[in-house]
Amino acid sequence: MSKRTEKTIVDIAEELQLSVSTVSRALNDHPNISARTKERVKKVAKKIGYRPNALAAGLRNNKSKTIGLIVPRISMFFPATISTIIQNKLQEFGYNLIICQSNDSYDQEVALANTLYSARVDGLVVSTTLYTTDFSHFDIFRNNNIPLVFFDRVPKDYNVKVIKGDDYRGGYVATTHLVEKGCKDIVHISGPLTCCLYSDRVAGYKAALQEHGLTSKKNRIFYQELTRENAWQTCEKIFGHQPYPDGIFASNDTTAITIVEYCRKMNLRVPEDVKIVGYSNDPRTEIVTPPISSIDQYPAMMGERVVAVLMELINGRQSAEPRYSQEIIPIQLIERQSSAGKSKTGKKKLTLS
């Protein structure tokens, strides 16, 4: 163990024949310290290469200037984008972000919540696992009044700050769009119902069908983890026998993209034979052929709201704030070729070779 000769404020104090308290205050620009002293202190600090020890300060102040973030995966478009925003926004406020991935495992999520608590984060931001239905591992945060904000995949029946997309509306808008483009038999591929965001979208889907005089049939909704592999298998089920649907609303874009690929392989024409709408407006929907219609969730806005709420909670009069509130971020349908009607781009020929 090589001796790590960390310079401390004590060293500065000695060099200048001052007390540590004045040095501390000088470095923090405390008003009681004379300009001259501040200058001298800072100069010496720089000279000897002093670096504040955030651990010590954190221990003393009972705050770490650090925020924890738990997401299922940072490699998926939506959480990745939000994490980026959160991290950059937080940086502006002088906060560090500890990003952790639960890998959609409940046990990992619990473990992470505990470590982050031990790290004494000043706040926690969470988008839960697909299967988290018990939220008691977040109780420590709630009970100790540590700011706690959930986004996107948020708890049901757990009193906390929540920022979510308008999933009901998303399901409704996507489905209505398909109906208006002429679809009569619309399949919905959903995520597991344990996750409220999917159940909301299903509800929207059903409402839209009903409103337009179509019936929603049980065997036209599929519940699954929305992976590439599952999407492919479900396609095989769907198109394994007649009648084929003329519209598919997929609850994420990975699924929508896979469906398009499947259709291409099977010589099913998109959008002529079957129209497709995805969810999240992943940039990939734009580069695939044909480009896929999708529901944009305004991730930037969501990320900014998360940070805003968090900062309010941290700086604010906590007593005044209700510990529970729900904020809904709007969605928007982005129409692309995969759900176009005949009259428009449907006829366009796109040929290779």
Residues that bind DNA (CB under 7 A): 6, 8-10, 17-22, 24-25, 27-28, 31-37, 50-53, 56-57, 59-62
Partner whose footprint covers residue 171, from DNA, a copy of itself, none (CB < 5 to 8 Å by kind): none
Six-digit token string for 261: 């690929």
Q: Does 346 help bind a copy of itself (rule: CB under 8 A)? A: yes
Residue pair 120/64 in contact (Cβ under 8 Å)? The answer is: yes
Whose tokens are 């344990």? That residue is 194
d(CA 259, CA 237): 12
Partner whose footprint covers residue 114, from a copy of itself, DNA, none (CB < 5 to 8 Å by kind): a copy of itself
Q: Which residues contact 180 (CB under 8 A, 6 or more apart)?
A: none
Only segment of 185-193, 208-216, 283-291, 321-329 that touches a copy of itself (CB under 8 A): 283-291
Q: Does 257 help bind a copy of itself (rule: CB under 8 A)? A: yes
Only segment of 25-33, 154-162, 177-185, 284-292 that touches a copy of itself (CB under 8 A): 284-292
Q: Does 284 help bind a copy of itself (rule: CB under 8 A)? A: yes
Q: Does 219 help bind a copy of itself (rule: CB under 8 A)? A: no
Q: Which residues contact 323 (CB under 8 A, 6 or more apart)?
A: 142, 159, 160, 161
Q: Quick one: 61 or 91, whose CB is closer to DNA?
A: 61
Partner whose footprint covers residue 227, from DNA, a copy of itself, none (CB < 5 to 8 Å by kind): none
Q: Does 120 help bind a copy of itself (rule: CB under 8 A)? A: yes
Residue from 22, 24, 64, 293 that binds a copy of itself (CB under 8 A)?
64
Residue pair 64/118 in contact (Cβ under 8 Å)? The answer is: no
Six-digit token string for 21: 């308290």
Residue pair 116/146 in contact (Cβ under 8 Å)? The answer is: no
Q: Quick one: 15 or 104, whose CB is closer to DNA?
A: 15
Residue from 115, 159, 227, 325 that binds a copy of itself (CB under 8 A)?
115
Q: Does 343 help bind a copy of itself (rule: CB under 8 A)? A: no
Residue from 10, 48, 56, 266 that binds a copy of itself (CB under 8 A)?
56
CA 175 to mean position of chain CA atoms: 24
CB of 199 to a copy of itself, least distance (A): 28
Q: What is the DSSP string of 42-58?
A: HHHHHHHT----HHHHH
d(CA 138, CA 113): 7
Six-digit token string for 228: 């590439």
Six-digit token string for 37: 């002293």
Q: What is the DSSP string of 181-215?
A: TT-SSEEEEE--TTSHHHHHHHHHHHHHHHHTT-P
CB of 64 to a copy of itself, least distance (A): 6
d(CA 65, CA 90): 10
Q: Does 316 help bind a copy of itself (rule: CB under 8 A)? A: no
d(CA 70, CA 52): 28
Residue pair 301/165 in contact (Cβ under 8 Å)? The answer is: no
Q: Quick one: 83 or 190, whose CB is closer to a copy of itself?
A: 83
CB of 174 to a copy of itself, least distance (A): 21
Q: Quick one: 13 or 187, whose CB is closer to DNA?
A: 13
Q: Does 101 help bind a copy of itself (rule: CB under 8 A)? A: yes
Binding site for a copy of itself (CB under 8 A): 2, 4-6, 49, 51-56, 58-59, 62, 64, 66, 73-75, 80-81, 83-84, 87-88, 91, 96-101, 103, 108, 114-120, 140, 144-145, 257, 261, 264, 269-270, 272, 283-284, 287-290, 318-319, 346-353
